Chain A
Amino acid sequence: MDKHDTPARPQASDARPVLEGPDIARVLTRIAHEIVERAKGADDVVLLGIPTRGVFLAQRLAAKLEQITDRKIPVGSLDITMYRDDLRMHPPRALARTEIPGDGIDGRLVVLVDDVLFSGRTIRAALDALNDIGRPRAVQLAVLVDRGHRELPIRADYVGKNLPTSLRETVKVQLAEEDGRDTVLLGVKAGQ
């Protein structure tokens, strides 16, 4: 018989799943309930996902919010590439789609959705981008994983999982829409 239980390639075995598909679904359900609770019914909520994976999370959250509130929840995407503070440190990146729901964001409660909260620089860029699009009543932040190591005074309002990490570690979120499966992997940086 062949050995079916040979260990996977070293790279894959280095990365250990910390959230699996059902965990992610549960976490999103909880965040949806928290949003409804804090926004007192979520009447004026607009969800904006940050590409790539934040957009899928925003769409999933919107579906859950619609189940809870029985109302259509506007959902869109906000590309922050042009607002990054490290633009000058890399070659230009390909742009992703910014799609603001038809009624706009003026006077609404915008909930930004991203997969991992790390330095906070992405969210700073997102706040700048929002500024050019309209004036929300308030802006909140929902993330699937908060891995710490903030470099700016930014915090999330809704956190799927707090994941204490060291800077040598990597956190990789995989979602079915993009990667074929739902999982959050904790690994070690290559070459460390």
Chain B
Amino acid sequence: MLRHLISAADLTRDDAVLILDTAEEMARVADRPIKKLPTLRGRTIVNLFFEDSTRTRISFEAAEKRLSADVINFSAKGSSVSKGESLKDTAQTLEAMGVDAVVIRHGASGAPYRLANSGWIDAAVVNAGDGTHQHPTQALLDAFTMRRRLIGRDAGLGQDLSGKRITIVGDVLHSRVARSNVDLLHTLGAEVTLVAPPTLVPVGVDSWPCAISYDLDSALPKCDAVMMLRVQRERMNAAFFPTEREYSRRYGLDGDRMAKLPEHAIVMHPGPMVRGMEITAEVADSDRCTAVEQVANGVSIRMAVLYLLLGGNEPALTHARTNEEK
């Protein structure tokens, strides 16, 4: 039984489709005058954010509040962590307060896994992004956005993304979004192509269930969705490309490149966007760009995940991590 959501690779196809279908119903709550469900009344969820985040933290908080959970926000700045407290002691403090779930973002890859499997706490752990490892709810909301746009809101129910061709472009090396998306999209039957400069492709990528290309222009005409990644300067301690201008020329998405996409194809961005770097303002503001929609969908997806993990006496998701998918 899957008690925690640590990695997108832990989800089976049926789990992922169940989350997407549940999110589709959750999305309808946003259209109501009273955007609230009583489902997690009396459950306490801590948002444990060791790394800066606006989008993800607010999105989780909105999802928790719409499900009537009690929400405690914790950010490392201004907490005992800045006085040198370890993750273990922080976790045990939270456990003593009786929390039911911990949503954790941490700069170190594997921190959520450690929290979930160390025996420090009983609470369910939801990974909200760890280092360069995983960000499963982002992958789920991306898949949700693709299913809605490429198949349809109602037509998509119960469906996966079989046969859809997705191109992920940019700083794959530092991107937990790319890793999570490759895992989840593969599980959902999509064909993923990563496009990046050779220096920004991680070692061992040939074992991932996806194709690699270094040429954006040849990949564009044959994809249903293109996902642009931000170049994560804050994680870079070396020069990975000569100049920003050169990166932008070769791997940035501008109007001319967007015109090469098939007519139905969408442009995605997990945010925050750096206009003029990986994406031009013209593309970011076009109606093919789903960046804002992805944020709205994030709340629905997080409601679905929290409901399925915490809504009953045991989680509704099965555990199916296999070695080949790791």
Interface residues of A (CB under 8 A from B): 79, 82-83, 87-98, 128, 132-134
CB nearest to A95 among chain B residues: B25
Are B38 and A91 interface neighbours, CB within 8 A? no
Least Cβ distance of A90 to chain B in Å?
5
CB nearest to A98 among chain B residues: B28
CB nearest to B22 among chain A residues: A95
A82/B39 contact (C-beta < 8 A), A87-B312, A90-B313 known: yes
Kindly state the separation between the CA atoms of A93 and B18 in the bound complex, as whole angstroms.
10
CB nearest to B28 among chain A residues: A98
**Which residues between 17 and 69 of chain B lie within 8 Å of chain A, taking CB atoms?**
18, 21-22, 25-26, 28, 32-34, 36-39
Residues of A near B285 (CB, < 8 A) are none
A79/B25 contact (C-beta < 8 A), A92-B311, A92-B316 known: yes
Are A132 and B25 interface neighbours, CB within 8 A? no
| Interface check B209, CB cutoff 8 A | no
Kindly state the separation between the CA atoms of A89 and B312 in the bound complex, as whole angstroms.
6
CB nearest to A131 among chain B residues: B34
One of A87, A90, A97 near B25 (C-beta < 8 A):
A97
Interface residues on B, range: 20 to 34
Kindly state the separation between the CA atoms of A91 and B25 in the bound complex, as whole angstroms.
18
Are B21 and A88 interface neighbours, CB within 8 A? no
| Interface check B200, CB cutoff 8 A | no
| Interface check B315, CB cutoff 8 A | yes
Are B38 and A83 interface neighbours, CB within 8 A? yes
Chain B 309-322 near chain A by CB (<8 Å), digits 1 or 0: 00111111000000
A91/B312 contact (C-beta < 8 A), A79-B25, A97-B25, A98-B25 known: yes
Kindly state the separation between the CA atoms of A132 and B33 in the bound complex, as whole angstroms.
8
Are A92 and B312 interface neighbours, CB within 8 A? yes
| Interface check B144, CB cutoff 8 A | no
Are B38 and A82 interface neighbours, CB within 8 A? yes
CB nearest to B154 among chain A residues: A97
Residues of B near A79 (CB, < 8 A) are 25
Kindly state the separation between the CA atoms of A95 and B28 in the bound complex, as whole angstroms.
12
CB nearest to A97 among chain B residues: B25
Kindly state the separation between the CA atoms of A90 and B34 in the bound complex, as whole angstroms.
26
20 contacts between A and B (CB under 8 A): A82-B307, A83-B37, A83-B39, A87-B39, A88-B313, A90-B313, A91-B315, A91-B316, A92-B311, A93-B312, A93-B316, A94-B22, A94-B316, A95-B26, A96-B25, A97-B25, A132-B37, A133-B33, A133-B34, A134-B33
